[in-house]
A and B are shown apart, each in its own frame.
Chain A
Amino acid sequence: MSELSDIQKLIRLKRYEQPPEGYFDDFLFEFQRRQRAEMLKRPLWQIVWERANLWLESFRVPAIAYASILVAAVGVTGVVVNSQNNASAVSGGIAAVNNPVVVSPAAPVGGQVAPASTSPHSYVLEKRPVSYDAPFSF
């Protein structure tokens, strides 16, 4: 018999260190009590989220359906945002036409730009888009 296997035989005796009889029944009872207590302590949003998931699962909707809904939602959001941006750009353009921007022509390189009100020479730039002009004027 080798020395190492003697050590193993001694260590194996530790398997007799067992909790008292009936311990595992009590353990299960205590586990169930803690399980219930934990479920009652859960935040409301978690319960609502889980219920919602269970409810959706009851329809047996395939995962691809969720993906399609998500893609559609992203698409609709994109269209709405885009149209809002266009609307603001158009209104900005109209405002620019009504209120022309005055720019000083002789801005010194590296120097300060004089205020428009004090500058004797100035140009008026109309921010009217070129496409608004008639294409051909004979």
Chain B
Amino acid sequence: MNEPLDPPDNVLVARTKEGDASAFDELVRRYSPRVYGLVYNMTSNHEETNDLLQDVFLKAFRSIRGFRGDSSFYTWIHTIAMNMTINFLKKRNRRRAMSLDDVDSHIENDPDYIEATATSDPRREANLGELQKRLNDAMQKLSHDHRAVVTMFDIQGMPHAEIAKILGISEGTVRSRLFYAHRQLQNYLEEFRGA
């Protein structure tokens, strides 16, 4: 995210405004994995994420003329994604079944995963699916606002300032929401916590 992109986002945005659809395709290629992560960790459902992601980029394409460049394209597209996702979640009455068979196999090499599943008794018994289910359940128990900050900070590794810009809140509010969300997750994931 910190390395310079070639061509820079603002050049691609300008080209899109001039009618070059391929420039917007490049922006989609560049940001769809990250925006996917944001939406998926809010919904915990791949199909819904796919539909929402299409809508997010279509809305961005329709609104690109109104994008003045006051913030980065990265912030702008994440703001659109977060607003649309929260609106979607408000409308969704029930939590759909989550697909549990598509975790990236690289997780098994992650030291945190090895530690989480091999140290104490409950962890020893835990398998990949169970751990993912517990994580998703715990995330879904959080309010939308708290889930949003956990997703962006803990999973996507965004800085507080960036999260504050995307959500339109102060950095202090981001920190307090994170603190409260971690306290809640602590209770939900008690048995998986490290020693």
Contacts and interface: CB of A to CB of B under 8 A. Distances in A.
B155 A10 contact: no
Sort chain B's interface into a size bin. 35 or more
A28 B194 CA distance: 40
Contacts of B107: 13, 16
Nearest to A8: B154
A99 interface: no
B104 A10 contact: no
A19 B28 CA distance: 16
Interface string A1-35: 10110111111111111111000100110111011
B34 to A, nearest CB: 11
A10 B28 contact: no
B80 interface: no
Contact of A34 (B58, B155, B185): B58
A11 B32 contact: no
Contacts, number: 100
A38 interface: yes
B46 A28 contact: no
A24 B150 CA distance: 24
Given A17-B102, A19-B46, A8 B182 contact: yes
Contacts of B46: 19
Contacts of A17: 40-41, 102-104, 132
B193 A6 contact: yes
A13 B139 CA distance: 12
Contacts of B189: 7, 10
Interface string B89-115: 000000000000011101100101101
A9 B194 contact: yes
A19 B182 contact: no
B164 interface: no
Contact of A28 (B32, B36, B37, B50): B32
Contacts of B77: none
A27 B36 CA distance: 11
A11 B103 contact: no
Chain B CB count within 10 A is highest, among A3, A27, A38, for: A27
B104 A35 contact: no
Interface of B: 19, 21, 25, 28-29, 32-33, 36-37, 40-41, 46, 50, 53-54, 57-58, 61, 102-104, 106-107, 110, 112-113, 115-116, 131-132, 135-136, 139, 150, 154-156, 182, 185-186, 189, 192-194
17 contacts: A3-B186, A6-B194, A8-B182, A10-B112, A11-B154, A11-B155, A13-B112, A14-B139, A15-B156, A16-B106, A17-B102, A19-B46, A19-B50, A20-B102, A27-B54, A28-B32, A32-B21
